[in-house]
Structures are given as C-alpha cells and as structure tokens.
Amino acid sequence: MCWTRHRREAAVIEGFLRQDGRKGIRNHVAVAYLVECARHVASEIVLPYREAGAQVIGFPGCFPNDYAQKMMERLCTHPNVGAVLLVSLGCESFNRFQLAEAIAKSGRPVETIVIQKAGGTRTSVAEGQAWVAARIEELSRAERVPMGLEELVVGTVCGGSDGTSGITGNPAVGLAFDRLVGEGATCIFEETGELIGCEEVMAARAATPELGRELTRSVEKAARYYATLGYGSFAAGNAEGGLSTIEEKSMGAYAKSGSARIDGLIKPGDLPPKGGLYLMDVVPDGEVRFGFPNISDNAEIAEMMASGAHLTLFVTARGSVVGSAIAPVIKICANPETYARLSEDMDVNAGRILSGSSLTEVGAEIFDLTLAVASGRKTASEQLGHAEFILTYKSFEPIGPACLPS
C-alpha cells in the first residue's frame, strides 16, 4: 500500500508548547495523590473542575518504589499536563519533595498540600480547589501552536480481545501505525506477555540483529514470568470470544504493530529518542514479585503515557469502555456485534471489515481521527468523562545499549 500520495505538509496538528520543547495535545491540571489515604481529597478537589480539565492520577502505595517515583515524575511532566497539585497525607514514604522539584524544574506550576498539616479533609479540599481554579483560569488562555507529526507520540493497546481482534481492529491499527511512522511520528506498542509466540517474526523486523535479540529476550522473560504466575495474559472473555491460547491472542495483538521496522526497545518511562516504532517491555525484571505485570489495561496505557504517548489507540472486541486520565483514548471496536451494542463508547467501527469494508479504509479513518483528536477533538471516552488511572508496584533494570541503536 502506498501512503506517500497522502503525504501532507509537516505541521498538520496543533498543540500546547511546553518549556522543555515538547508539545501537548491537552492542557490538563493533574491532581496527584501520593498514597491511597490522600485519594479521596484529590478526587473531591477535582470534582467541580472535571469538565474544565482537572484530572486525578496517583500512586496508592505507602512504601517507596523507584518505578512508581519515575512514573509519577514522567506523568506529572507529561506534555498534556500544564500544572500539578500534589496531595500528600503526610506520613507516606513517597518522595514528594523530589517529585515537586522535578515538576518545578519542568516549568510547570506545582503546589503540594499535606493533609496532616493543612488541617484535615475539608481544609485541604478548599485549598486545593482554590489552587486548581486559578491554574485552570491561566491555562484556558493558552493557545494552540502548529505541531508536526514528528512531535506526536502514539501508543496502542488492546483489551477485551476476541477472535475478531486479529482480523479487523488490530491490523487496521497496524496500517495507521505504518502511516504515522512513515510521517515521522513515534509509535509505541507493548505488552510483551501478549507477544508470546511472535518473538521470531518480530525480531526479524528489528533495526539491528542485536536489537532483534533484545526483543526476543523480552518476550522470553514475559513467558517465564507468566509461567511462574500460572496464567498467561489472558482473561475469561478472551476465550468466550473464540481465542483458545495466549499464542493465538498474541498473533492478533502483534498485528497492531503494523509492518514498519522496529527501531527500539524501551521500558516504562523511557522517552523514545526519535520518531519510529518502539516495543515497550512492561514485564518487570528480576524475580517474580509485586504480582501481575498488567493488572488491567489502564496500567499499560499509563506506562505508555509515561514514555510520552499523547494518545492511545485502543482496540477492543468484547467491549471495553475505559478512557484515561491525561491522554485521550481512541476506541476501535473490532467486533461488529459489540459495536452494535456499545456504539456510544466507540470511536471507530472496525468490525465492518467483516461485512466488506477494506482494512485500508478503516486504517485511514483511524489515522485521520488520530490527527483530529490530537488537535482537540474529544473522543467518546472523553465526552463520557472517563479518566481511569492505575499505577502499582514494579521493578525494572535500565535498558541495555543494544535496545536503542542509533
């Protein structure tokens, strides 16, 4: 297929310029709880300002974790975020000082409310709302500026897959990915636990043989990890929809990556150095601990956001309804029966491929919608107020030199 005849001029979308030179496609105020004990206060602060762009993110654990600290730093300095309010209970272990410093250094307004010092729930909520209202007023005056596709980072995930995912929605996203990569954008696919069985075909697409070996090793690590846990990355609904094994689900999931050369392997929070296609390894390193690598789809969406993803292309077949805090989610429905039932939650009906529409046509629709959403058009989940977020404990070692060949 030849996308080049569709090629456009460089600046095709519009975003918000940040001090680090990156551009965002949304202008959110993030209200971040630093332990579950502070989440209610954070949610109450956001409540009156949900429509105006305030959103809750956070980390529930009381004990320190380097991965969570890095994730929160990346998310609070994400290009879609214009200001950050940290909500601390006061006695948790999360390093709020380091986080606040990183946000301030990025040029964003930041404030920390410590509930134990502020005087309790009601006082903290009132203080927080006053701060958020002022920031929303400031951010509402920001204007969008031209943004090139080479400045855009797009992630993809699938959730609630079935036997239609691998023949409609996932290959259609693969075509959109090919076109985005061809236009200079950065694209991230992930979930090495759902690439089990595809490692050899995938490694053959790597930019270098050394990277190919790293890709294979990351999938082998996922296979070992899940074998220890006793389950694959496989939910009951996958089987109901006709998928019988993790390998079968993997072949469908793999189609989301398209056919471009794979330029690198990153871990959550690593920023891709240039445009191209990257695999994100989301399975922790070392011995199995802290539970499942991907306890639900939003964990993976948050990890791609931490690596700079401005938005996520989410293929669902059984019918996920989620969106995400901070970064919009475009939902592509692979199953025509599900689309008929849940169309209010879906952005693209890829299931129509089963009744004669071409993959090319749906791939082009996903590409065009990606650009429209990047420039401000709201997705179905944004219109419905979805702003899910989840972050749990993990541990990673840094990527090796072969993972990002120059």
Judged by the rule CB under 8 A, the positions of this chain that interact with other proteins are: 162-164, 166-167, 196-198, 201, 223, 226-227, 230-232, 234-237, 239-248, 251, 317, 335-337, 354-355
On the CB side of 366, CA atoms within 13 Å amount to 38
Distance of CA 321 to the CA centre of its chain: 15
CB atoms within 10 A of CB 402: 18
Smallest distance from other proteins to CB 195, Å = 11
Q: CB burial class (10 A; 0-12, 13-18, 19+) of residue 362?
A: buried
Which of 222, 373 has the CB closer to other proteins? 222
Q: Give strand ranges (E) for 123-260.
A: 145-148, 153-158, 186-190
Smallest distance from other proteins to CB 5, Å = 29
Smallest distance from other proteins to CB 339, Å = 12
Which of 98, 244 has the CB closer to other proteins? 244
Sort strands 110-114 and 145-148 into parallel, antiparallel or unpaired: unpaired
Smallest distance from other proteins to CB 158, Å = 14
Q: What is the dihedral of CA 157, 381, 311, 389, to 10 degrees?
A: -70
DSSP string, 232-274: -S--HHHHHTT--SHHHHHHHHHGGGTTSPEEEEE-TTPPPSS
176 membership: H or E segment, kind and range? helix 169-182
The CA angle 308-286-290, to the nearest 5 degrees, is 75
Which of 130, 204 has the CB closer to other proteins? 204
Q: What DSSP state is assigned to residue 356?
A: T
Which of 124, 316 has the CB closer to other proteins? 316
Smallest distance from other proteins to CB 162, Å = 5
Which of 235, 371 has the CB closer to other proteins? 235
Smallest distance from other proteins to CB 154, Å = 24
Which of 123, 245 has the CB closer to other proteins? 245
Smallest distance from other proteins to CB 159, Å = 15
Which of 37, 342 has the CB closer to other proteins? 342
Integer Cα distance of 77 and 101 in angstroms = 11
| Region at 53 (left for phi over 0; alpha for psi -120 to 50; beta for the rest) | left
Which of 338, 370 has the CB closer to other proteins? 338
Smallest distance from other proteins to CB 288, Å = 13
